[in-house]
Amino acid sequence: MSLWEDKVRRVVPYTPGEQPADTGIIKLNTNENPYPPAPGVLAARDAMDVERLRLYPDPAAGELVKALAGRYDVAPEQVFVGVGSDDVLSVAFLTFFNSDRPVIFPDITYSFYPVWANVYRIPYKMAPLDADFRIRPEDYYEENGGVIFPNPNAPTSCYEPLDVVEDILQHNPDVIVIVDEAYIDFGGTSALKLLERYENLLVVQTFSKSRSMAGLRIGYAIGAPKLIKAMNDGKYSLNSDTMNMPSQLMGVCAVRDEAYFKQCVNRIIATRERTKAQLLALGFVFPEPMANFIFARHPRFQGRELFEALRAAHIYVRHFDQPRIGDYLRITIGTDEQMDVLMDFLKNYINSH
């Protein structure tokens, strides 16, 4: 081994869900939206002046920031945008979690949190979810270097009502509390309501789920102007031009079509409720799902067995080979038709094994 190899940073990379090229599969493994983006996005594509690609994009993504500020009724100075909510969260970790005390997040949660903490050398502590996969607010009362949790949580789909979020905020006035709301639009109430009272609250959302635009990579954070300024300073020090022109143009059009957004979200919720009833009838158990996925196990089958049987039938769901959740499948809500194929397979499989 050469000497330079000693100094190469070794990391255990995050393993994303598979993105198979085969379009014949039913893809319920990465929580994508089964419906296309708002119709205005196609119009934005056609209106995009390709000649202008020769110029740098607006580093502040001003039009997109303005559109989001309008949609969420906050000032543009309260909105930070990034290349997917992963980019937003990564900048937030780097900007706000600078204490010697550990940052606290749940033990079962978005698997990028410990990865970022390790990369940025941030001490952290994982608070165990209770037996029902719920957050115990008292775990977040001790002195810490910051708090982050998704609401609804992933991959559990569990939602904590606002009074739990507020309880955690009340006990943490001296650190930044990040609520990662990638899935909030599927039935929960956003912590944005609490912003007026807690200037140490940062709410992070994404275009990848409810807005059907995972392929564009747009995420955003909303918080007090002081927090957003600190994040922008941090972002500009890493890479001043991250969001490209197509994302800025198409993102604005997606934000502006509120009617389509609501219709899309409501369809997914309706399919989720229908799927819940069918899974229950087959004997599955799961925490009450409040996202665009259901986290379910069947008492008679191991998670890996069902995952592999489904995969062989070209139905992709997500399975996590981890303590406490190894028997669960995370099943994204697709169209009614896709869920029918899934349920037919599960019904046959369960009845014949």
Phi and psi at residue 218, to the nearest 5°: -135, 125
Instruction: For the CB of residue 66, give the shortest distance to a second copy in the complex, in Å.
Output: 13
Q: Phi/psi zone of residue 123: left (φ > 0), alpha (ψ -120 to 50 degrees), beta?
A: beta
As a dihedral over the C-alpha atoms of residue 166, residue 169, residue 171, residue 176, rounded to 10 degrees, the angle is 170
Report the residue number, 133 or 144, with the smaller CB distance to a second copy. Answer: 144
Instruction: For the CB of residue 108, give the shortest distance to a second copy in the complex, in Å.
Output: 20
d(CA 254, CA 348): 40
Report the residue number, 42 or 75, with the smaller CB distance to a second copy. Answer: 42
Q: Token pair for residue 215?
A: 């392929």
Instruction: For the CB of residue 277, give the shortest distance to a second copy in the complex, in Å.
Output: 26
Q: Which residues, 6+ apart, have CB-to-CB distance to 34 below 8 Å?
A: 268, 333, 334, 335, 338
Instruction: For the CB of residue 18, give the shortest distance to a second copy in the complex, in Å.
Output: 10
Report the residue number, 135 or 214, with the smaller CB distance to a second copy. Answer: 214
> Which residue has 């369960």 as its token pair?
350
Number of neighbours of residue 308 by Cβ within 10 angstroms: 12
Report the residue number, 15 or 351, with the smaller CB distance to a second copy. Answer: 15
Report the residue number, 172 or 190, with the smaller CB distance to a second copy. Answer: 172
Report the residue number, 267 or 297, with the smaller CB distance to a second copy. Answer: 267
Instruction: For the CB of residue 322, give the shortest distance to a second copy in the complex, in Å.
Output: 18
Number of neighbours of residue 41 by Cβ within 10 angstroms: 21
Instruction: For the CB of residue 313, give the shortest distance to a second copy in the complex, in Å.
Output: 21
Amino acid at 207: F
Report the residue number, 145 or 150, with the smaller CB distance to a second copy. Answer: 145
Instruction: For the CB of residue 30, give the shortest distance to a second copy in the complex, in Å.
Output: 6
Under 8 Å between Cβ of 169 and 177: yes
Strands (E), 275-317: 293-296, 315-316
d(CA 211, CA 170): 31
> Which residue has 């952290």 as its token pair?
124
Phi and psi at residue 169, to the nearest 5°: -60, -45
